[in-house]
């Protein structure tokens, strides 16, 4: 029997019992959709991780830290001692001279205060080079731009969740108290930046103490008034851009304020000339060192294969390193486990569908016993009979797989729409992601499941006695 005849007979047999065939296919549709959607959730998390890594410099990036500087805290895995060497301009030159180093850029993080209108905000100010800011791949709201390194002012890029870090002066109430965002337009409102956060809050505390202590003797005594510092300097700043997104959108940049590091460094050295800069290392007597220390360095390797060797070389120089490649390896293992668990949950539905296919095929054999006997008497080979039933089962699996994928894409779109910008889930993109390979693989899997479920019924049909089959009523 030719293949075209087998296909014609298989399809006509399925059409003969339309309702039963549709119900069987429905089981495959549910099973396929369950597997695809479940796995797509794990892949969506993985894609979000990839985007976060890209915003952190990509797979060839190495974060280099030394002795603690500024307000940022970096943690090692415990396999190495904390470095006692500071990251300075000399370090930048030293690492730039290493083989396979494409670029070295410094980063400085410090706690600061922004004042605007009746609000004040405690923010983490991150100074980076223009090159590194571009590499962060920040998505800015319409009309925004990165800080101009040639500007005479300190331009800022404001994270989209920074408004939640502002409080009202006097009441100290903010978003987390009132669930209402402050009335601030960062692109238009006048803003003042205070680089010494501790000095600002100390001055506010002293003002309150001075007011409550009016009429006293004025003696500083032991209440610390003798150590009162002058009010910290305020710098007029403006935002060149705001990270795109609302209060429910989270990205790796959402809680930070970015600026040009060299402009920030210039302002700090000018304001604190001859005295200790906040966050900078000092001697035991409190005097500042002559060098300026950075929080960290971003080292870009020229080849992904050289990242581990380059990180080891930098560690031998006395610094700590952290690579995105190491982070990705550990994260990928976790995601593989998540995807396996989610896929296993979806596979239960496919198992039920396979039982349905086997049941349908067995019922078909009982109904077509006489037909099977006739085609055997007419000379049809046992192999052809087996192929006919396997084709019917494959049609059910393939049809269910195709329709199941269509349903999967619809469900994925609905899930992404409902969870769009869900900051509570820690995602900066779609939670469900269905690549082409997953669709093709799921269709193939559904077809194979159908054939596997139809194998035993096909063997049973092949073993029927022709005479017994013809006599069967």
Distance from C-alpha of 300 to C-alpha of 104, rounded to nearest angstrom: 6
pLDDT of residue 124: 93
Q: If pLDDT is split at 50, 70 and 90, which confidence band does 217 have? A: very low
- Domain membership flag for residue 280: yes
Residue 427's domain comprises: 3-53+330-471
pLDDT reported for residue 379: 62
The confidence score (pLDDT) of residue 107 equals 94
What is the C-alpha R_g of the chain? 34
Q: Is the pLDDT of residue 32 over 70?
A: yes
Q: What is the pLDDT, as a whole number, of residue 425?
A: 45
pLDDT at 168: 93
461 and 415: one domain? yes
Best-predicted range by mean pLDDT (44-48, 387-391, 446-450, 465-469):
446-450
Helix, strand, or coil here: 27? helix
Give the per-residue pLDDT at 175: 92
Same domain (yes/no): 134, 210: no
> What pLDDT is recorded for position 258?
96
Residues 222 and 270 in one domain: no
How far apart (Å, rounded) are the C-alpha atoms in residues 453 and 394?
9
Strand partners, 119: 116, 168
Give the pLDDT of residue 99.
Answer: 92
In the predicted model, is pLDDT for residue 160 greater than 90? yes
What is the pLDDT of the chain when averaged over all its residues? 80
Do 168 and 212 belong together in one domain?
Answer: no
C-alpha 9/C-alpha 457 separation (Å) is 17
Q: Tell me, yes or no, whether 296 and 341 share the same domain.
A: no
Residue 319 lies in a domain: no
Indicate if 178 and 278 belong to the same structural domain. yes
What whole-number percentage of the chain has pLDDT above 70?
78
Q: What are phi and psi of 109, to 5 degrees?
A: -115, 135
β-bridge mates for residue 124, sequence order: 111
Q: Are 470 and 370 in contact (CB under 8 A)?
A: yes
Distance of CA 43 to the CA centre of its chain: 10
- Residue 339 has a pLDDT of 75
Question: Does residue 311 lie in a domain region?
Answer: no
CB 134 within 8 A of CB 144: no
- What pLDDT was estimated at residue 456? 80
Q: What's the mean pLDDT in 193-220?
A: 65
The reported pLDDT for the residue numbered 219 is 42
Q: Which of the pair, 372 or 304, is modelled with greater confidence?
A: 304
Give domain status of residue 322, yes or no: no
**If you average pLDDT over each of 58-72, 370-384, 411-425, which comes out highest?**
58-72
Structural domain includes residue 409: yes
Looking at the fold, whether 20 and 109 belong to one and the same domain comes out as: no
67 with 130, same domain? Answer: yes
pLDDT bin (cut points 50, 70, 90) of residue 120 is very high
DSSP 225-289: GGGPPPPPP-EEEEEEEEBS--TT---TTTT-EEEEHHHHHHHHHHHTTTSPPTTS-B-TTSPBP
Lowest-confidence pick of 35-44, 53-62, 84-93, 294-303:
53-62
Residue 253 sits in the same domain as residue 120? yes
Q: Is pLDDT above 60 for 228?
A: no
Angle between helices 18-55 and 382-418 (to 10 degrees): 50
Which pLDDT score is estimated for 75?
40
In a domain, 317, yes or no: no
User: Measured in Å, how far apart are the chain's first and last C-alpha atoms?
Assistant: 26
Q: What is the per-residue pLDDT across 243-263, written as a single tens digit (0 to 9) for each?
A: 998 888 888 889 999 999 999
Number of structural domains the chain divides into: 3
Average pLDDT over residues 415-423: 71
pLDDT (0 to 100) of residue 377:
61
Does residue 347 share a domain with residue 264?
no
- Measure the CA–CA gap between 314 and 296, rounded to whole angstroms: 13
CA–CA distance, 392 with 397 (Å, rounded to integer): 9
Specify if 321 maps to a domain: no
- At 225, the pLDDT band (50, 70, 90 cuts) reads very low
Does one domain contain both 154 and 101? Answer: yes
192 beta partners = 115, 236
Residue 63's H or E segment, with its range, is strand 61-65
Please tell me whether residues 216 and 247 are part of one structural domain.
Answer: no
pLDDT of amino acid 55: 61
Least confident stretch, 212-221, 225-234, 394-403: 212-221
Please indicate, yes or no, if residue 308 is contained in any of the structural domains.
no
- The answer, yes or no, to whether residue 202 has pLDDT greater than 80, is yes
Q: How confident is the model over 131-150, as pLDDT tens digits?
A: 989 988 888 999 899 998 88
Q: Are 35 and 351 in contact (CB under 8 A)?
A: no
């Amino acid at each position: 029997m030719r293949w075209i005849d087998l296909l014609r007979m298989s399809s006509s047999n399925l059409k003969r019992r339309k309702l039963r065939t549709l119900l069987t296919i429905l089981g495959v549709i549910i099973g396929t959709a369950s597997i695809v959607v479940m796995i797509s959730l794990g892949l969506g998390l993985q894609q979000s991780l990839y985007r976060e890594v890209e915003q952190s410099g990509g797979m060839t990036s190495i974060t280099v830290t030394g002795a603690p500087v500024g307000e940022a805290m970096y943690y090692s895995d415990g396999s190495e001692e904390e470095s006692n060497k500071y990251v300075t301009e000399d370090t930048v030159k030293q690492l730039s001279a290493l083989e396979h180093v494409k670029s070295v850029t410094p980063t400085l993080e410090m706690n600061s205060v922004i004042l605007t209108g009746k609000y004040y905000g405690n923010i983490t100010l991150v100074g980076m080079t223009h090159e590194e800011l571009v590499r962060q791949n920040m998505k800015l709201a319409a009309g925004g731009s990165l800080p101009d390194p040639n500007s005479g002012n300190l331009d800022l890029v404001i994270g989209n969740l920074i408004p939640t870090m502002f409080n009202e002066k006097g009441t100290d109430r903010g978003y987390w108290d009132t669930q209402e965002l402050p009335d601030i337009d960062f692109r238009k409102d006048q803003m003042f930046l205070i680089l010494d956060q501790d000095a600002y809050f100390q001055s506010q505390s002293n003002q309150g103490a001075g007011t409550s202590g009016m009429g006293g003797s004025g003696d500083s005594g032991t209440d610390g008034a003798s150590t009162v510092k002058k009010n910290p300097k305020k710098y007029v700043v403006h935002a060149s851009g705001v990270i795109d997104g609302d209060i429910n959108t989270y990205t790796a940049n959402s809680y930070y304020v970015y600026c040009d590091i060299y402009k920030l460094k210039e302002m700090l050295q000018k304001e604190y000339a001859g005295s200790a800069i906040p966050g900078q290392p000092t001697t035991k007597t409190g005097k500042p060192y002559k060098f300026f220390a950075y929080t960290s360095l971003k080292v870009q390797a020229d080849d992904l294969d050289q990242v581990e060797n380059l990180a080891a070389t930098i560690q031998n120089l006395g610094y700590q390193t952290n690579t995105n490649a190491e982070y990705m390896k550990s994260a990928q293992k976790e995601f593989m486990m998540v995807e396996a668990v989610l896929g296993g949950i979806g596979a239960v539905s496919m198992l039920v569908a396979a039982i349905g296919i086997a049941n349908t095929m067995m019922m078909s054999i009982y109904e077509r016993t006489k037909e099977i006997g006739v085609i055997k008497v007419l000379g049809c080979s046992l192999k052809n009979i087996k192929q006919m039933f396997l084709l019917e089962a494959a049609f059910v699996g393939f049809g269910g797989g195709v329709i199941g994928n269509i349903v999967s894409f619809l469900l994925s779109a609905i899930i992404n729409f409902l969870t769009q910008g869900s900051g509570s889930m820690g995602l900066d993109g779609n939670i469900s992601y269905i690549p082409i390979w997953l669709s093709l693989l799921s269709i193939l899997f559904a077809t194979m499941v159908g054939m596997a479920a139809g194998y035993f019924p096909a063997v049973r049909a092949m073993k029927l006695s022709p005479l017994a089959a013809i006599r069967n009523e």
